[in-house]
A = this chain, B = another copy of it.
Amino acid sequence: MTDPLKTLLAAGLPETTVRPVEPHYVEEPRGRWHGRAVAVVAPSTTEEVAAILRACSETRTPVIPFGGGTGLVGGQLAEHGQPPVILSLERMRAVRSFDALAGTMTVEAGAILADIHTRAEEDGLIFPLTLASQGSARIGGLLATNAGGVNVLRYGNARDLCLGIEAVLPDGSVMNTLSGLRKNNMGYDLPHLMIGAEGTLGVITAATLRLFPKPEKTGAALMVVPDPDAALGLFRLAQARVGSGLSAFEIIHRMGLDFLREVGPEVRHPFDDPPEWMCLIDLGLGAGDSPETALEALFAEGFEAGLVSDGLVAQSEAQRAEFWTLRETIPLANRRIGAISSHDISVPVASIPGFVAEAPGRLAEIGDYRINCFGHLGDGNLHYNVFPKPGRSRADHEAERPAIKRCVHDLVRELGGSVSAEHGIGRLKVDDLERYGDPAKLAAMRAIKDALDPLGIMNPGAVLRN
């Protein structure tokens, strides 16, 4: 037993809090990096979290707050430097309060997103944050990384769905801004500062979330479009016709479907011939409306305008789920193929076609790749992932990765976009933040980090260089 652990236990932390350092605490979904840990501790109360941070301050031990471990930018593990204490929120999963009338729910940070969905739906409400990893992602991590997902178009990012947080600051003090209030101007907005700070300024231990009425009628359609330009035109048309009823507007390139056929998992393919480009459009409407009618009208108008060539409107909730399963399984197929470099980027929505047209030519100057491009067209957010050709492996292209990343990110900057749209900075994009971020903002971030975490124990090396 090492010193930090002794200090922890001496600080009154129950011995059951200490967990074995199992592999999943030091691995990440894409298998790119392996972290280290001096110990894993899983506190069951906010007070225990505070005791852990005090002990880690005392012993100058780094701490990595750990949620579901689903982060894609290495924010939850450290390959280098002093081995950290992994502070897992997995035992703090309670729903502290639920107010159906006010549309709020206060949960502890370890609550799994899918469980939050289920709890909201018990009262006919929804918590709209929806993403592929919702079965294991925990709300603390989702807030720490300001997660996005497929419903941002309508409901906003994780930060927009949070009314207040409880967090333990690096010195062990507990900041409580939990509140169901819609209007509260009591000083600097520290919840928004902690949200998206990726555990570098403290540990989020609980959050008050916004719940919404479940749309009375939901529906979805897959529509085949000739190219991203037409997809953009269809998106504008959908905005004009359906307005705020438009919950999601996804674009999917054929490469994702090819990958699914090549390596699985097995899913039902809606079209016999996989289309080059298609859009997944999801609606949530009022009781008097018919999503099917709205989607059919959208298809007809799009067809007339040459924006759509084929389409399927889901005829049941089961078929709608099938469409979404197809979309949400693509990341799994990506992992099985093994990307050389993955890019979570956003550009102004109008620049999406220009980006998709320009990037492949630039990448071809570096090497011979397959590109899987899919994502949240409505938010201007693409997952633009570069893979080896069949018969070659990620390892064959290892040396090209920096050039690939630089090529994609330079184009994003030219178009006024962001090289981290919804996954955060973690450790993967520290260089990119330095290169593409605003210098005055970076200096201010550093000053804030030093002010709130003067010992530098909170997730060192994530977001800001150590």
Interface residues in chain A, defined as those with a beta carbon under 8 Å from any beta carbon in chain B? 99, 101-102, 145-146, 148, 152-153, 157, 159-160, 169, 173-177, 179-190, 192-193, 195-197, 201, 213, 236, 239, 243-244, 286, 346-350, 376, 379-381, 416-425, 433, 436-445, 447-448, 450-452, 463-464
Contacts and interface: CB of A to CB of B under 8 A. Distances in A.
B440 A184 contact: no
Contacts of A286: 243
Contact of A441 (B177, B196, B376, B450): B177
18 contacts: A145-B185, A146-B189, A183-B380, A183-B421, A184-B421, A186-B419, A186-B436, A186-B437, A187-B442, A187-B445, A188-B193, A188-B201, A188-B441, A189-B193, A192-B192, A213-B243, A243-B286, A447-B451
Contact of A173 (B349, B418, B440): B440
A185 B145 CA distance: 8
Q: Copy number of this protein in the oligomer?
A: 2
A102 B350 contact: yes
A153 B179 CA distance: 16
Contacts of A243: 213, 286
A186 B433 contact: yes
A80 B144 CA distance: 41
A164 to B, nearest CB: 10
Given A188-B448, A196-B189, A438-B176, A348 B183 contact: no
Contacts of A174: 440
Nearest to A167: B440
Nearest to A240: B213
Residue of A187, A193, A286, A419 with most chain B CB atoms under a 10 A cut-off: A187
Contacts of A349: 101-102
A350 B286 CA distance: 25
A177 to B, nearest CB: 6
B444 A152 contact: no
A368 to B, nearest CB: 30
A180 to B, nearest CB: 6
B416 A348 contact: no
